[in-house]
Amino acid sequence: MSRRALTLLLAGFLVLALGVVGAFSPVPYVVLSPGPTENTIGEVDKKPVISIKGRETYPTSGALSLVTVAYQGGPAAQIDLLTALRGWIDPTVAVVPQETIFAPNRDPKEVEEENTVEMTNSQDSARAAALSELKIPFSMVVTVVSTEKGRPADGKLLKGDEINSVDGKPAKDVDVVGDAVKAHKPGDNVTFSVTRGGQKLDVTVPTVAGPKGQTLVGVVMQAKYKFPFDVDINVGDVGGPSAGLMFSLGIVDKLTPGEITGGKRIAGTGTIQPTGEVGAIGGIAQKMVGAKDSGATVFLTPADNCAEAMQAVPDGLRLVRADTLHDAVLALDALRTGKGNVPACEAG
């Protein structure tokens, strides 16, 4: 074999070896794919997803399914380049930078605690929204769960503090408190009126800029509600704020005569405020695929996700815009009876 041929052969092996090594090298991306669906008026592991005690309930039919996104990758288990490439050519999945899912330089325990609080807040907000829709009275108070070490609130706001107001504005829910803080510029002071150990006092906390430039004080909060009866939500390993709308609809369906689905398989997504406003979510394309695969024919879509959803909606899945829980209830009533307006997602 000539020297030139040997050189080309060795170069070819080197390129091949580098290609193989590169293909299996970890990359800082996360693959998002359609996750499992759960019928909120059905069962998980032979247990009702929503169980109500202390109040009359009514039979249901069809499905009101929450949809999820599964992810592969992350700081503790990065995917390789080959997996990312497969994701980029698969229209049913998305490949996104790792930092869009996992906040950099965060203590994993703090993140886990915040995720747990977020899940609890979402389910409580769903209960509150459903009872508000049905005009059933209840009470609520925003409480401090913890503070982030080294942040301004650390040592100033204490676990168990009940936040009554922020800068004189009533703390109607967790988001109101958060928005009041974000309305400040980093370096401003925020005044919290709290109840601590039965005593009311004002606590002044300076603000700082967060990792993404937002204003924060470093406090983890939770809305604690006092409901007139028990509403338990059981979803196993599934959770997160994007299921709020479907939890609320499931509660409303169980607490009202008749079946709001009309026997249809309805799926949907959206965060929920205690007052019933539906908020945008991520992974809408993957969630619609999961909905279609579960047999759903109607998909309740937050208004702010409509434009994106229309670009990727699977054939046979009807998009219904849901601005509020009340709008969603009315839309399902119109679908069932054939009377009334069914708001659709529109371009632009």
Residues 62 and 146 in one domain: no
Dihedral of alpha carbons 113, 218, 96, 126, sign: positive
Residues 265 and 333 in one domain: yes
Residues 268 and 290 in one domain: yes
Residues 248 and 301 in one domain: yes
Residue 1: strand, helix, or coil: coil
Report residue 128 CA to chain centroid gap: 17
Q: Does residue 25 lie in a domain region?
A: no
Instruction: Evaluate whether 320 touches 344 at the Cβ level (below 8 Å).
Output: yes
| Per-residue confidence (pLDDT) for residue 80, from 0 to 100 | 73
Q: Does residue 238 lie in a domain region?
A: yes
Residues 236 and 330 in one domain: yes
Q: Does residue 8 lie in a domain region?
A: no
| Per-residue confidence (pLDDT) for residue 21, from 0 to 100 | 47
- Answer with the one of 226, 242, 275 that is the final residue of a domain: 226
Residues 246 and 328 in one domain: yes
What is the spatial distance between Cα 36 and Cα 29, in angstroms, rounded to a whole number?
22
CATH value at residue 179: 2.30.42.10
Q: pLDDT 10s digit of each residue in the chain, 348 long?
A: 555 555 555 555 554 544 544 444 677 777 788 888 999 999 988 899 999 999 999 999 999 999 998 877 777 777 677 777 776 777 787 777 777 666 666 665 666 666 666 777 788 899 999 999 999 999 989 999 999 999 999 999 999 999 999 999 999 888 899 999 999 999 999 999 999 999 999 999 999 998 878 899 999 998 888 899 999 998 876 656 888 999 999 999 999 999 999 999 999 999 999 899 999 998 899 999 999 999 999 999 999 999 999 999 999 999 999 999 999 999 999 999 988 889 999 865
Residues 272 and 333 in one domain: yes
Residue 164: strand, helix, or coil: strand
Q: What angle do CA 108, 112, 118 make, to 5 degrees?
A: 145
Q: Does residue 262 lie in a domain region?
A: yes
Q: Does residue 169 lie in a domain region?
A: yes
- Answer with the one of 226, 245, 263 that is the final residue of a domain: 226
Q: Which of 242, 248, 264, 292 is catalytic?
A: 242
What is the spatial distance between Cα 307 and Cα 280, in angstroms, rounded to a whole number?
11
Residues 217 and 250 in one domain: no
| Per-residue confidence (pLDDT) for residue 322, from 0 to 100 | 96
The pair of structure tokens assigned to 44 is: 């998980």
- Answer with the one of 173, 204, 226 that is the final residue of a domain: 226
Say whether 242 is catalytic.
yes
Q: Does residue 83 lie in a domain region?
A: no
Q: State how many domains the chain has.
A: 2
Residue 50: strand pairing partners: 233
Q: What angle do CA 237, 128, 59 make, to 5 degrees?
A: 75
CATH value at residue 47: 3.30.230
Q: Which of 156, 254, 287, 292 is catalytic?
A: 287
Residues 59 and 145 in one domain: no
Q: What angle do CA 215, 281, 259 make, to 5 degrees?
A: 135
Q: Does residue 156 lie in a domain region?
A: yes
The pair of structure tokens assigned to 17 is: 């070896």
The domain of 145 spans 139-226
Residues 217 and 237 in one domain: no
Picking from 82, 124, 78, 122, the residue whose alpha carbon sits closest to that of residue 101 is: 78
Residues 175 and 268 in one domain: no
Residues 215 and 233 in one domain: no
Q: Does residue 78 lie in a domain region?
A: no
